[in-house]
Amino acid sequence: MKTSVVEVLNNETLLLQEISLKGWVRTFRSNRFIALNDGSTIKNIQCVLDFENTPEETLKRINTGAAIAVKGTLTESQGRGQSVEVQVSEIEVLGDSNPDEYPIQPKKHSFEFLRENAHLRMRTNTFSAVMRVRSKLSFAVHQYFQERDFNYVHTPIITGSDAEGAGEMFRVTNFKDNEAPIDENGNIDYSKDFFGKETNLTVSGQLEAETFAMSLGKAYTFGPTFRAENSNTTRHLAEFWMIEPEVAFMDLDGNMDLAEDFIKYVINSILVSCKDDLAFLDQRLTQEEKSKPQAQRSEMSLLEKLKFVVDNNFKRVTYTEAIDILRNSKPNKKKKFQFPINEWGADLQSEHERFLVEKHFKCPVILFDYPANIKAFYMRLNDDGKTVRAMDVLFPGIGEIVGGSQREERYDVLVEKMKALDIPEEDLWWYLDLRKFGTAVHSGFGLGFERLVQFATGMSNIRDVIPFPRTPQNAEF
Protein backbone atom coordinates (compact mmCIF):
# COMPACT_ATOMS: atom_id res chain seq x y z
CA MET A 1 0.00 0.00 0.00
CA LYS A 2 1.55 3.32 -1.03
CA THR A 3 1.02 5.96 1.62
CA SER A 4 2.16 9.51 2.12
CA VAL A 5 4.52 10.58 4.86
CA VAL A 6 1.83 12.65 6.54
CA GLU A 7 -0.45 9.61 6.75
CA VAL A 8 2.32 7.45 8.13
CA LEU A 9 3.13 9.97 10.85
CA ASN A 10 -0.51 10.46 11.83
CA ASN A 11 -1.85 6.94 11.62
CA GLU A 12 -0.82 4.76 14.55
CA THR A 13 -2.43 1.65 13.10
CA LEU A 14 0.31 1.55 10.46
CA LEU A 15 2.91 0.65 13.09
CA LEU A 16 4.54 -2.71 12.31
CA GLN A 17 2.76 -2.77 8.98
CA GLU A 18 4.37 -3.12 5.59
CA ILE A 19 4.25 0.28 3.89
CA SER A 20 5.43 1.77 0.64
CA LEU A 21 6.53 5.37 0.11
CA LYS A 22 7.75 7.49 -2.78
CA GLY A 23 9.52 10.80 -2.45
CA TRP A 24 12.83 12.61 -2.70
CA VAL A 25 16.01 12.13 -0.74
CA ARG A 26 16.79 15.07 1.50
CA THR A 27 19.92 13.57 3.08
CA PHE A 28 21.67 10.24 3.17
CA ARG A 29 24.18 9.53 5.91
CA SER A 30 26.39 6.62 7.02
CA ASN A 31 25.28 4.71 3.90
CA ARG A 32 22.27 3.79 6.00
CA PHE A 33 19.86 6.59 6.95
CA ILE A 34 17.76 8.28 4.31
CA ALA A 35 15.70 11.35 5.22
CA LEU A 36 12.81 11.08 2.78
CA ASN A 37 10.40 13.91 2.01
CA ASP A 38 7.35 13.61 -0.23
CA GLY A 39 5.97 17.13 0.19
CA SER A 40 2.93 16.00 2.15
CA THR A 41 4.38 17.48 5.34
CA ILE A 42 7.35 19.52 6.48
CA LYS A 43 8.55 16.39 8.28
CA ASN A 44 10.93 13.88 6.74
CA ILE A 45 10.66 10.21 7.49
CA GLN A 46 13.78 8.23 8.26
CA CYS A 47 14.26 5.18 6.10
CA VAL A 48 16.85 2.73 7.42
CA LEU A 49 18.68 0.66 4.83
CA ASP A 50 20.05 -2.77 5.33
CA PHE A 51 23.17 -1.60 3.51
CA GLU A 52 24.93 -4.93 3.49
CA ASN A 53 22.13 -6.25 1.33
CA THR A 54 21.85 -3.16 -0.81
CA PRO A 55 23.93 -3.24 -4.00
CA GLU A 56 26.84 -0.80 -4.12
CA GLU A 57 25.39 0.51 -7.40
CA THR A 58 22.15 1.52 -5.68
CA LEU A 59 23.89 3.10 -2.66
CA LYS A 60 25.82 5.36 -5.01
CA ARG A 61 22.61 6.61 -6.57
CA ILE A 62 20.96 7.65 -3.29
CA ASN A 63 21.86 11.31 -3.53
CA THR A 64 20.13 14.44 -2.31
CA GLY A 65 17.29 15.23 -4.69
CA ALA A 66 16.91 11.74 -6.15
CA ALA A 67 13.41 10.29 -6.43
CA ILE A 68 13.07 6.94 -4.73
CA ALA A 69 10.51 4.28 -3.87
CA VAL A 70 10.89 2.30 -0.66
CA LYS A 71 9.05 -0.63 0.83
CA GLY A 72 9.48 -1.76 4.40
CA THR A 73 8.11 -2.10 7.90
CA LEU A 74 7.12 0.90 9.97
CA THR A 75 8.73 0.61 13.40
CA GLU A 76 9.23 2.76 16.44
CA SER A 77 12.48 4.63 16.04
CA GLN A 78 15.51 3.93 18.19
CA GLY A 79 17.13 7.20 17.26
CA ARG A 80 16.28 10.66 18.47
CA GLY A 81 14.39 13.19 16.40
CA GLN A 82 11.65 10.93 15.11
CA SER A 83 9.04 8.63 16.59
CA VAL A 84 8.83 6.15 13.74
CA GLU A 85 11.03 5.00 10.88
CA VAL A 86 10.92 2.57 7.99
CA GLN A 87 13.05 -0.57 8.02
CA VAL A 88 13.61 -0.77 4.30
CA SER A 89 13.29 -4.13 2.59
CA GLU A 90 13.20 -2.85 -1.00
CA ILE A 91 14.49 0.35 -2.51
CA GLU A 92 14.37 1.60 -6.06
CA VAL A 93 15.93 4.79 -7.39
CA LEU A 94 13.31 6.21 -9.73
CA GLY A 95 15.15 9.33 -10.80
CA ASP A 96 18.80 10.18 -10.25
CA SER A 97 20.12 13.50 -9.04
CA ASN A 98 23.72 14.26 -9.85
CA PRO A 99 25.24 15.65 -6.64
CA ASP A 100 27.70 17.82 -8.57
CA GLU A 101 24.88 19.57 -10.39
CA TYR A 102 21.87 19.58 -8.05
CA PRO A 103 21.53 23.15 -6.74
CA ILE A 104 19.57 22.40 -3.54
CA GLN A 105 22.18 20.95 -1.21
CA PRO A 106 21.36 20.13 2.41
CA LYS A 107 22.66 23.44 3.75
CA LYS A 108 21.31 26.94 4.18
CA HIS A 109 20.80 28.71 0.85
CA SER A 110 20.05 32.42 0.54
CA PHE A 111 16.56 33.40 -0.58
CA GLU A 112 18.13 35.23 -3.53
CA PHE A 113 19.78 32.03 -4.71
CA LEU A 114 16.55 30.10 -4.24
CA ARG A 115 14.59 32.70 -6.27
CA GLU A 116 16.92 31.92 -9.15
CA ASN A 117 16.00 28.28 -8.65
CA ALA A 118 12.30 28.83 -8.10
CA HIS A 119 11.50 25.58 -9.90
CA LEU A 120 13.31 23.63 -7.19
CA ARG A 121 12.91 25.80 -4.13
CA MET A 122 9.71 24.03 -3.05
CA ARG A 123 12.03 21.15 -2.13
CA THR A 124 13.32 23.16 0.82
CA ASN A 125 11.61 23.25 4.20
CA THR A 126 10.89 26.96 4.10
CA PHE A 127 9.32 27.08 0.64
CA SER A 128 7.37 23.86 0.98
CA ALA A 129 5.93 25.22 4.23
CA VAL A 130 5.08 28.59 2.65
CA MET A 131 3.39 26.97 -0.34
CA ARG A 132 1.35 24.58 1.78
CA VAL A 133 0.19 27.51 3.93
CA ARG A 134 -0.63 29.45 0.75
CA SER A 135 -2.75 26.56 -0.50
CA LYS A 136 -4.64 26.21 2.79
CA LEU A 137 -5.20 29.95 2.94
CA SER A 138 -6.77 30.02 -0.51
CA PHE A 139 -9.07 27.20 0.49
CA ALA A 140 -10.05 29.12 3.63
CA VAL A 141 -10.86 32.15 1.48
CA HIS A 142 -13.40 30.18 -0.51
CA GLN A 143 -14.70 28.48 2.62
CA TYR A 144 -15.34 31.80 4.33
CA PHE A 145 -17.33 33.25 1.47
CA GLN A 146 -19.10 30.05 0.46
CA GLU A 147 -20.26 29.44 4.03
CA ARG A 148 -21.80 32.91 3.93
CA ASP A 149 -23.56 32.50 0.57
CA PHE A 150 -21.27 34.74 -1.47
CA ASN A 151 -21.14 33.86 -5.16
CA TYR A 152 -17.72 33.27 -6.67
CA VAL A 153 -17.51 35.37 -9.84
CA HIS A 154 -14.81 34.94 -12.49
CA THR A 155 -14.17 38.48 -13.62
CA PRO A 156 -12.31 39.02 -16.89
CA ILE A 157 -8.55 39.21 -17.05
CA ILE A 158 -8.52 41.13 -20.32
CA THR A 159 -10.36 44.41 -19.91
CA GLY A 160 -11.03 47.72 -21.61
CA SER A 161 -11.31 49.72 -18.39
CA ASP A 162 -8.78 50.96 -15.85
CA ALA A 163 -10.55 50.26 -12.56
CA GLU A 164 -8.09 52.14 -10.40
CA GLY A 165 -7.51 54.96 -12.88
CA ALA A 166 -3.81 54.81 -12.13
CA GLY A 167 -2.73 53.95 -15.68
CA GLU A 168 -0.49 51.13 -14.52
CA MET A 169 -1.66 48.57 -17.02
CA PHE A 170 -0.10 46.00 -19.33
CA ARG A 171 -1.35 46.35 -22.89
CA VAL A 172 -2.91 43.32 -24.55
CA THR A 173 -2.55 43.46 -28.32
CA ASN A 174 -2.44 41.13 -31.25
CA PHE A 175 -0.51 43.55 -33.48
CA LYS A 176 2.77 42.14 -34.73
CA ASP A 177 6.01 44.04 -34.12
CA ASN A 178 6.17 47.25 -36.17
CA GLU A 179 2.95 46.37 -37.96
CA ALA A 180 0.45 48.27 -35.83
CA PRO A 181 -1.75 50.43 -38.09
CA ILE A 182 -1.55 54.17 -37.49
CA ASP A 183 -4.63 56.45 -37.57
CA GLU A 184 -4.84 59.95 -39.07
CA ASN A 185 -3.54 61.47 -35.82
CA GLY A 186 -0.43 59.33 -35.87
CA ASN A 187 -1.63 57.12 -33.01
CA ILE A 188 -1.86 53.33 -33.06
CA ASP A 189 -5.30 52.41 -34.40
CA TYR A 190 -6.62 49.93 -31.89
CA SER A 191 -9.96 49.75 -33.66
CA LYS A 192 -8.13 47.35 -35.99
CA ASP A 193 -6.76 45.27 -33.14
CA PHE A 194 -8.16 41.91 -32.03
CA PHE A 195 -10.85 43.33 -29.75
CA GLY A 196 -11.46 46.45 -31.83
CA LYS A 197 -10.34 48.63 -28.94
CA GLU A 198 -7.50 49.20 -26.52
CA THR A 199 -7.34 46.36 -24.01
CA ASN A 200 -5.18 45.64 -21.00
CA LEU A 201 -4.63 43.07 -18.28
CA THR A 202 -6.93 43.92 -15.41
CA VAL A 203 -5.70 45.74 -12.29
CA SER A 204 -8.81 44.68 -10.35
CA GLY A 205 -12.02 42.71 -10.83
CA GLN A 206 -14.00 45.19 -8.80
CA LEU A 207 -16.02 46.97 -11.47
CA GLU A 208 -17.32 43.72 -12.92
CA ALA A 209 -17.82 42.28 -9.41
CA GLU A 210 -20.13 45.22 -8.72
CA THR A 211 -22.46 43.99 -11.46
CA PHE A 212 -22.74 40.73 -9.51
CA ALA A 213 -23.31 42.46 -6.16
CA MET A 214 -26.12 44.42 -7.84
CA SER A 215 -27.76 41.21 -9.04
CA LEU A 216 -26.76 38.28 -6.83
CA GLY A 217 -26.34 40.45 -3.72
CA LYS A 218 -23.08 39.00 -2.38
CA ALA A 219 -20.17 38.20 -4.66
CA TYR A 220 -16.43 37.75 -4.51
CA THR A 221 -13.61 37.37 -6.98
CA PHE A 222 -10.30 35.66 -6.32
CA GLY A 223 -8.05 35.89 -9.31
CA PRO A 224 -4.87 37.24 -10.80
CA THR A 225 -4.42 40.97 -11.25
CA PHE A 226 -1.64 42.88 -12.95
CA ARG A 227 0.08 46.18 -12.29
CA ALA A 228 2.80 47.73 -14.36
CA GLU A 229 4.03 49.90 -11.51
CA ASN A 230 7.77 50.03 -11.50
CA SER A 231 8.13 49.51 -7.76
CA ASN A 232 10.92 47.21 -6.79
CA THR A 233 9.86 46.73 -3.20
CA THR A 234 9.36 43.78 -0.89
CA ARG A 235 5.57 44.28 -1.11
CA HIS A 236 4.89 44.74 -4.84
CA LEU A 237 4.45 42.25 -7.65
CA ALA A 238 3.52 42.91 -11.27
CA GLU A 239 1.24 39.85 -11.13
CA PHE A 240 -0.56 39.11 -7.89
CA TRP A 241 -3.77 37.52 -6.68
CA MET A 242 -6.55 39.59 -5.24
CA ILE A 243 -9.63 38.68 -3.26
CA GLU A 244 -12.46 41.12 -3.84
CA PRO A 245 -15.83 40.74 -2.11
CA GLU A 246 -18.62 43.09 -3.15
CA VAL A 247 -21.92 43.36 -1.29
CA ALA A 248 -25.19 45.14 -2.06
CA PHE A 249 -26.91 47.14 0.69
CA MET A 250 -23.71 47.20 2.78
CA ASP A 251 -22.16 50.48 3.92
CA LEU A 252 -18.59 51.27 4.96
CA ASP A 253 -19.10 50.10 8.55
CA GLY A 254 -20.33 46.75 7.27
CA ASN A 255 -17.36 46.65 4.91
CA MET A 256 -14.91 47.18 7.78
CA ASP A 257 -16.66 44.48 9.81
CA LEU A 258 -16.47 42.09 6.86
CA ALA A 259 -12.76 42.71 6.23
CA GLU A 260 -11.87 42.22 9.89
CA ASP A 261 -13.99 39.12 10.30
CA PHE A 262 -12.68 37.62 7.07
CA ILE A 263 -9.00 38.14 7.91
CA LYS A 264 -9.48 36.69 11.40
CA TYR A 265 -11.25 33.67 9.95
CA VAL A 266 -8.58 32.76 7.42
CA ILE A 267 -5.72 33.28 9.88
CA ASN A 268 -7.51 31.22 12.48
CA SER A 269 -8.12 28.50 9.95
CA ILE A 270 -4.41 28.01 9.17
CA LEU A 271 -3.57 28.07 12.88
CA VAL A 272 -5.62 24.88 12.95
CA SER A 273 -4.75 23.33 9.57
CA CYS A 274 -1.04 24.23 9.26
CA LYS A 275 0.32 23.59 12.77
CA ASP A 276 3.57 21.88 11.71
CA ASP A 277 4.38 24.33 8.93
CA LEU A 278 3.65 27.36 11.11
CA ALA A 279 5.72 25.92 13.95
CA PHE A 280 8.62 25.57 11.50
CA LEU A 281 8.13 29.08 10.08
CA ASP A 282 7.89 30.48 13.60
CA GLN A 283 11.28 28.97 14.44
CA ARG A 284 12.74 30.18 11.17
CA LEU A 285 11.63 33.75 11.81
CA THR A 286 12.92 33.67 15.37
CA GLN A 287 16.35 32.65 14.02
CA GLU A 288 16.24 35.39 11.40
CA GLU A 289 15.28 37.97 14.01
CA LYS A 290 18.32 37.04 16.09
CA SER A 291 20.59 38.31 13.35
CA LYS A 292 18.98 41.78 13.56
CA PRO A 293 19.96 44.56 15.95
CA GLN A 294 17.88 44.46 19.15
CA ALA A 295 15.94 47.62 18.29
CA GLN A 296 14.66 46.19 15.00
CA ARG A 297 13.57 42.85 16.40
CA SER A 298 9.90 42.05 16.53
CA GLU A 299 8.47 41.81 20.04
CA MET A 300 6.30 38.85 19.06
CA SER A 301 7.01 35.53 17.41
CA LEU A 302 5.13 34.60 14.26
CA LEU A 303 2.58 32.47 16.11
CA GLU A 304 2.07 35.20 18.70
CA LYS A 305 1.44 37.71 15.91
CA LEU A 306 -1.11 35.46 14.24
CA LYS A 307 -2.93 34.83 17.52
CA PHE A 308 -2.81 38.52 18.32
CA VAL A 309 -4.61 39.36 15.08
CA VAL A 310 -7.28 36.73 15.69
CA ASP A 311 -7.88 37.79 19.31
CA ASN A 312 -7.84 41.59 19.13
CA ASN A 313 -10.07 44.22 17.58
CA PHE A 314 -8.60 46.21 14.75
CA LYS A 315 -8.35 49.89 15.65
CA ARG A 316 -10.57 52.10 13.46
CA VAL A 317 -9.31 55.63 12.91
CA THR A 318 -10.20 58.35 10.41
CA TYR A 319 -7.57 59.63 8.02
CA THR A 320 -7.88 63.04 9.70
CA GLU A 321 -7.10 61.58 13.14
CA ALA A 322 -4.18 59.64 11.65
CA ILE A 323 -2.72 62.79 10.12
CA ASP A 324 -2.84 64.52 13.51
CA ILE A 325 -1.05 61.59 15.13
CA LEU A 326 1.58 61.50 12.37
CA ARG A 327 2.12 65.26 12.34
CA ASN A 328 2.85 65.26 16.05
CA SER A 329 4.88 62.05 16.02
CA LYS A 330 8.53 61.84 17.04
CA PRO A 331 9.84 60.67 13.65
CA ASN A 332 7.99 63.52 11.92
CA LYS A 333 9.32 66.15 14.30
CA LYS A 334 12.84 64.72 14.10
CA LYS A 335 12.54 64.63 10.30
CA LYS A 336 13.01 60.87 10.25
CA PHE A 337 10.25 60.26 7.68
CA GLN A 338 11.40 60.23 4.08
CA PHE A 339 8.10 61.96 3.27
CA PRO A 340 7.37 64.45 6.08
CA ILE A 341 3.71 64.95 7.00
CA ASN A 342 2.94 68.64 6.92
CA GLU A 343 -0.68 68.99 6.07
CA TRP A 344 -4.03 67.33 5.68
CA GLY A 345 -4.34 65.79 2.23
CA ALA A 346 -0.94 64.13 2.12
CA ASP A 347 -0.92 60.61 0.72
CA LEU A 348 0.28 58.10 3.30
CA GLN A 349 3.41 56.16 2.50
CA SER A 350 4.30 52.76 3.84
CA GLU A 351 6.58 54.36 6.49
CA HIS A 352 3.57 56.26 7.90
CA GLU A 353 1.30 53.24 7.81
CA ARG A 354 3.86 51.16 9.61
CA PHE A 355 4.46 53.83 12.23
CA LEU A 356 0.74 53.90 13.04
CA VAL A 357 0.47 50.12 13.24
CA GLU A 358 3.80 49.13 14.75
CA LYS A 359 4.72 52.06 16.98
CA HIS A 360 1.56 53.98 17.80
CA PHE A 361 -1.41 51.62 18.01
CA LYS A 362 0.54 48.33 18.11
CA CYS A 363 -2.32 46.47 16.45
CA PRO A 364 -3.93 46.21 13.00
CA VAL A 365 -5.51 49.52 12.04
CA ILE A 366 -8.35 50.41 9.68
CA LEU A 367 -8.03 53.95 8.36
CA PHE A 368 -11.15 55.41 6.75
CA ASP A 369 -12.61 58.59 5.25
CA TYR A 370 -9.62 59.54 3.11
CA PRO A 371 -9.30 62.75 1.07
CA ALA A 372 -11.14 62.29 -2.22
CA ASN A 373 -8.24 63.35 -4.38
CA ILE A 374 -5.85 60.60 -3.29
CA LYS A 375 -8.40 57.82 -3.88
CA ALA A 376 -10.07 56.19 -6.91
CA PHE A 377 -13.03 57.73 -8.76
CA TYR A 378 -15.66 55.21 -7.65
CA MET A 379 -15.54 55.91 -3.92
CA ARG A 380 -18.59 57.49 -2.29
CA LEU A 381 -18.24 61.18 -1.51
CA ASN A 382 -18.96 62.20 2.08
CA ASP A 383 -21.20 65.16 2.95
CA ASP A 384 -18.12 67.28 3.75
CA GLY A 385 -17.45 67.26 0.00
CA LYS A 386 -13.75 66.52 0.47
CA THR A 387 -13.45 63.01 1.90
CA VAL A 388 -14.62 59.67 0.54
CA ARG A 389 -15.86 56.49 2.20
CA ALA A 390 -12.58 54.67 1.68
CA MET A 391 -10.88 52.27 4.04
CA ASP A 392 -7.44 50.69 4.16
CA VAL A 393 -6.53 47.89 6.53
CA LEU A 394 -2.95 48.27 7.73
CA PHE A 395 -0.92 45.39 9.12
CA PRO A 396 2.34 45.15 11.07
CA GLY A 397 5.34 44.46 8.87
CA ILE A 398 3.21 44.81 5.75
CA GLY A 399 1.47 48.18 5.70
CA GLU A 400 -1.62 48.17 3.48
CA ILE A 401 -3.12 44.70 3.16
CA VAL A 402 -6.68 45.72 2.17
CA GLY A 403 -8.04 48.65 0.20
CA GLY A 404 -11.77 49.14 -0.13
CA SER A 405 -14.67 51.54 -0.03
CA GLN A 406 -18.36 52.20 -0.12
CA ARG A 407 -19.07 52.83 -3.79
CA GLU A 408 -20.58 56.00 -5.21
CA GLU A 409 -24.13 54.88 -5.95
CA ARG A 410 -25.47 58.30 -7.04
CA TYR A 411 -25.47 58.59 -10.82
CA ASP A 412 -25.00 62.37 -10.99
CA VAL A 413 -22.24 62.48 -8.42
CA LEU A 414 -20.36 59.68 -10.18
CA VAL A 415 -20.67 61.31 -13.60
CA GLU A 416 -19.37 64.60 -12.16
CA LYS A 417 -16.41 62.80 -10.64
CA MET A 418 -15.57 61.01 -13.87
CA LYS A 419 -15.73 64.27 -15.80
CA ALA A 420 -13.38 65.92 -13.33
CA LEU A 421 -10.91 63.06 -13.76
CA ASP A 422 -11.27 62.81 -17.56
CA ILE A 423 -12.65 59.29 -17.41
CA PRO A 424 -14.73 58.85 -20.59
CA GLU A 425 -18.36 57.97 -19.84
CA GLU A 426 -18.55 55.81 -22.95
CA ASP A 427 -15.87 53.48 -21.57
CA LEU A 428 -17.86 52.83 -18.41
CA TRP A 429 -21.44 53.12 -19.70
CA TRP A 430 -22.28 49.72 -18.24
CA TYR A 431 -20.85 50.72 -14.85
CA LEU A 432 -22.99 53.86 -14.90
CA ASP A 433 -26.05 51.75 -15.81
CA LEU A 434 -25.80 50.12 -12.37
CA ARG A 435 -26.50 53.61 -11.00
CA LYS A 436 -29.37 54.15 -13.41
CA PHE A 437 -31.30 50.96 -12.81
CA GLY A 438 -31.95 49.96 -9.23
CA THR A 439 -28.97 51.65 -7.68
CA ALA A 440 -28.27 51.01 -3.99
CA VAL A 441 -25.65 51.45 -1.33
CA HIS A 442 -22.92 48.86 -1.86
CA SER A 443 -19.36 48.25 -0.76
CA GLY A 444 -16.40 45.98 -1.18
CA PHE A 445 -12.68 45.66 -0.78
CA GLY A 446 -9.59 44.09 -2.27
CA LEU A 447 -7.14 42.04 -0.26
CA GLY A 448 -3.74 41.35 -1.76
CA PHE A 449 -3.41 37.60 -1.33
CA GLU A 450 0.40 37.59 -1.33
CA ARG A 451 0.50 40.24 1.38
CA LEU A 452 -1.75 38.00 3.45
CA VAL A 453 0.55 35.03 2.82
CA GLN A 454 3.51 37.21 3.79
CA PHE A 455 1.89 38.06 7.07
CA ALA A 456 0.82 34.48 7.72
CA THR A 457 4.26 33.00 7.04
CA GLY A 458 6.50 35.80 8.31
CA MET A 459 8.33 36.01 4.98
CA SER A 460 9.78 39.46 4.50
CA ASN A 461 9.87 39.49 0.69
CA ILE A 462 6.69 39.12 -1.36
CA ARG A 463 8.72 37.30 -4.04
CA ASP A 464 9.05 34.41 -1.62
CA VAL A 465 5.33 33.74 -1.14
CA ILE A 466 4.24 33.35 -4.78
CA PRO A 467 5.54 30.37 -6.78
CA PHE A 468 6.96 32.31 -9.72
CA PRO A 469 7.17 36.04 -9.03
CA ARG A 470 6.79 38.61 -11.82
CA THR A 471 8.60 41.83 -11.02
CA PRO A 472 10.35 44.49 -13.11
CA GLN A 473 13.03 42.79 -15.23
CA ASN A 474 11.97 39.34 -14.14
CA ALA A 475 9.61 36.83 -15.72
CA GLU A 476 11.72 33.68 -15.57
CA PHE A 477 9.95 30.30 -15.37
Residues contributing to the site for Mg ion (CB under 5 A): 403
Measured CA to CA, the distance from residue 379 to residue 390 in angstroms comes to: 6
DSSP 177-200: TT---B-TTSSB-GGGSTTSS-EE
Position 364 contacts ligand 4AD (CB under 6 A)? no
Question: Does residue 136 touch ligand 4AD according to CB under 6 A?
Answer: no
Question: Is residue 394 involved in binding ligand 4AD (CB under 6 A)?
Answer: no
Do residues 209 and 442 touch, judged by C-beta distance below 8 A? no
- The verdict on 208 binding ligand 4AD (CB under 6 A) reads no
The smaller minimum CB distance to ligand 4AD, of residues 277 and 353, is found at: 353
23 binds ligand 4AD (CB under 6 A): no
Q: How far is CA 62 from the centre of its chain?
A: 36
CA pair distance 197, 227, nearest whole angstrom: 20
Show the binding pattern over residues 222-261: x = contacts ligand 4AD (CB under 6 A), - = does not: -----x-x------xx--x-x-x-----------------
Site for ligand 4AD in 445-464 (CB under 6 A): 445-448, 450-451
> What Å distances lie between residue 376 and 159, 216, 227, 269, 313, CA to CA?
18, 24, 15, 32, 27
Among 206, 329, 332, 457, binds ligand 4AD (CB under 6 A): 206
CB of 128 to ligand 4AD, least distance (A): 22
Strand ranges (E), 142-256: 151-152, 158-159, 171-172, 199-201, 218-226, 239-248
Tell me the Cα Rg of the chain: 27
236 binds, among ligand 4AD, Mg ion, none (CB under 5 to 8 A by kind): ligand 4AD
Question: Residues in contact with ligand 4AD, total (CB under 6 A)?
Answer: 24
Q: Is the separation of the CB atoms in 258 and 213 below 8 Å?
A: no
Site string for ligand 4AD, 163-202 (x = CB under 6 A): xx--------------------------------------
The DSSP bridge pattern shows strands 199-201 and 158-159 to be: antiparallel
Residue with Cβ nearer Mg ion (38 or 260): 260
Q: Which is nearer to ligand 4AD, 305 or 451 (CB)?
A: 451
- Torsions phi, psi of 245, nearest 5? -80, 150
CA dist 264 and 258 (Å) reads: 10
Q: Smallest gap, in angstroms, from Cβ of residue 142 to ligand 4AD?
A: 17
Q: Which residues bind ligand 4AD (CB under 6 A)?
A: 163-164, 204, 206, 227, 229, 236-237, 240, 242, 244, 400-405, 444-448, 450-451
